[in-house]
Amino acid sequence: MEYSLKLIVGAIFINNILLAKFLGNCPFLGVSKKMETAIGMSGAVVFVLTLAGVITWVVEHALLKPNELEYLRTLAFILVIATLVQFVELFLRKSIPALYKSLGIFLPLITTNCAVLGVAIINIQKGFSLLDTILFSVASAVGFGLALILFAGIRERFETTRIPKPLEGTGIGLVTAGLLALSFFAFQGMI
Amino acid sequence: MSASVLVKEFSKGLWKEIPPFRLVLGLCPALAVTTSAENGLGMGLSATFVLVCSNMLISMLRKVIPSEVRVACYIVIIATFVVCVEMITKAYFFELSESLGLFIPLIVVNCIILGRAEAFAKKNPVLPSIADGLGMGLGFTLSLTILGSFRELFGAGTLGLLFGDKVFLEQPFGFLQQAPGAFVALGLMLGGMNLLGRWLGR
């Protein structure tokens, strides 16, 4: 129980996937200009990351490990993730159109979100059990969402602020992300 | 195919569209591995290798790959070369592969590579595609090495790539070695590049 709690708190706050591990930074800067898109992206990531974490764990332990094909991990995982994203897109469009409408445009972007592949590989490298994999994937995705939504909240204010000319756009975004990372940095030493 | 076209495609990656500054893609490795100049250089060269090979192969196959499933095909091609890089670094540059860690397999999802495949290699002949890949890759390497040198010199006080163990700063600014420092350093460098660009009148 204690271990699980540590795993969850660690993944959300201390080793936040965006701000401490630097995974998934392209969508972080790309879709954080508006709050709505940030929320949509976070939802899509929570959904896909959890599914991908579980399925890649099963692929590793049922297919790759017994056949000693670990060196194909990268190739196998990215294929699984790309297929999964396509499948989720089709499934949502058919059965839950409302959800598809809010998440739809973000789904294709997730294939190249390194957070998904990154977490899948971390799960294997750390030798997690299936339960730990689920917990870690969900917690990482929640951490991603938290950082993305906080950042979007700050970034919305840029429109009414005077920013030095050379820093406009991505430059000030990165500096702000640095300050946000600094605030998450304060959680270090909690566990 | 004249040489001037090749030079143009090659040189645009070095200033006009230099990643990750002008072309804001591939930020994760740029932030994560640039704690030292050596890591930056290693990451840049690995990505360059994958980028040149994948651009070449995708351009060769551009008339064969059906456009509906092109992204999946590109990913398979890129992932194949990434597995090669993974094995080569593990066999010959073990220390580098340890310090880059997770970020070598993650070259697969480096948006620069898929981005160049989609924006350039799928509609251009082989030679310009190679030139484009080489230019973009070297531009990326250059950016990462400069960023890495900056963070290493001021954050840790050394510059291992050129001067070995020599210590330049007795009390370095450790913030630059940490995660928040990476964001701030990249942001300020981007601002500096914009300033320089405006000053040069482009």
Complex ipTM value:
0.87
Residue in chain B lying closest to A82 (CA): B72
Q: How many contacts does A have with B, using Cβ atoms within 8 A?
A: 125
Q: Best interface-test mutation with A: which of B22, B25, B28 has the largest number of A CBs within 10 A?
A: B28
What does the pLDDT look like over B179-190, one tens digit per residue?
899 999 999 998
pLDDT band per the 50, 70, 90 thresholds, residue B58: very high
**Amino acid type, A57:** W
Section B81-88 average pLDDT: 93
CB B26 within 8 A of CB B137: no
For residue A110, list chain B residues with Cβ-Cβ distance below 8 A: none
Confidence of residue B1 (pLDDT cuts 50, 70, 90): low
Is the omega angle on the peptide bond into residue A97 within 30 degrees of 0, that is, cis?
no
Residues of chain B with Cβ-Cβ distance to A19 below 8 Å are 179-180, 183
Residue B140 has a pLDDT of 93
Whether residue A7 contacts residue A135, with contact meaning beta carbons closer than 8 Å, is answered with yes
pLDDT computed for residue A108 by the predictor:
74
Min Cα separation B12/chain A (Å): 20
A75/B80 touch (CB, cutoff 8 Å), yes or no: yes
Whether residues B105 and A23 touch (CB distance < 8 A) is answered with no
Q: Residue B103's closest CA among B190, B194, B174, B33?
A: B33
Termini Cα distance of chain B: 28
Cβ–Cβ below 8 Å for B87 and A71: yes
Residue B178 has, within 13 A of its CA and on its CB side, a CA count of 15
Which residues from A are below 8 Å from B192, CB to CB?
166
Structure confidence at residue A51 (pLDDT): 93
State the average pLDDT over residues B22-40.
Answer: 86
Contact status, residue B132 vs residue B9, Cβ threshold 8 Å: yes
Q: Is 90 exceeded by the pLDDT of residue B198? A: no
Mean pLDDT of B36-65: 93
CB atoms A171 and B75 under 8 Å? no
What's the distance, Cα to Cα, between the start and end of chain A in Å?
14
Mean pLDDT across chain B: 88
pLDDT-above-70 percentage for chain B: 99
Number of other CB atoms surrounding residue A46 within 10 Å: 18
CB of A64 within 8 Å of any CB in chain B? no
pLDDT of residue A145: 93
DSSP string computed for A40-60:
HHHHHHHHHHHHHHHHHHHHI
DSSP annotation of B121 reads: G
- The answer to whether the CB atoms of B187 and A173 lie below 8 A apart is yes
**Distance to chain A for B4, nearest Cα, Å:** 32
Other Cβ atoms closer than 10 A to B72: 16
Structure tokens at A49: 């990351």
Structure tokens at A148: 């993305």
- Residue A127 gets the label, from left (phi > 0), alpha (psi -120 to 50) or beta, of left
Residue of chain A whose alpha carbon sits nearest to that of B86: A71
- Are the beta carbons of B187 and A177 separated by less than 8 Å? yes
Res B126: pLDDT:
93
- State residue B168's pLDDT score: 82
Q: Give the SS3 label for residue B19.
A: coil
Closest residue in B to A177 (Cα–Cα):
B183
List, in order, residues 6 or more apart from B56 with CB less than 8 Å away: B121, B126, B129, B130, B133
* Cβ separation A167–B186 shorter than 8 A: no
Helices (H), chain A: 2-9, 25-30, 35-59, 73-95, 97-103, 107-110, 114-125, 130-155, 170-185
A166 part of contact set with chain B, CB < 8 Å: yes
Which range has the worst mean pLDDT, B14-23, B61-70, B102-111? Answer: B14-23
> What single DSSP character describes residue A14?
I
Q: pLDDT tens-digit profile of B150-170?
A: 999 998 888 877 887 778 888
The pLDDT value recorded for residue B133 is: 94
Q: What are the per-10-residue average pLDDT scores of chain A (191 residues)? A: 88 90 84 84 88 94 90 90 86 83 74 87 92 94 94 89 85 91 86 71
Place of tokens 């445009």: A105
Contact B79 A25 (CB under 8 A): no
Q: Which residue has the higher pLDDT, A105 or B65?
A: B65
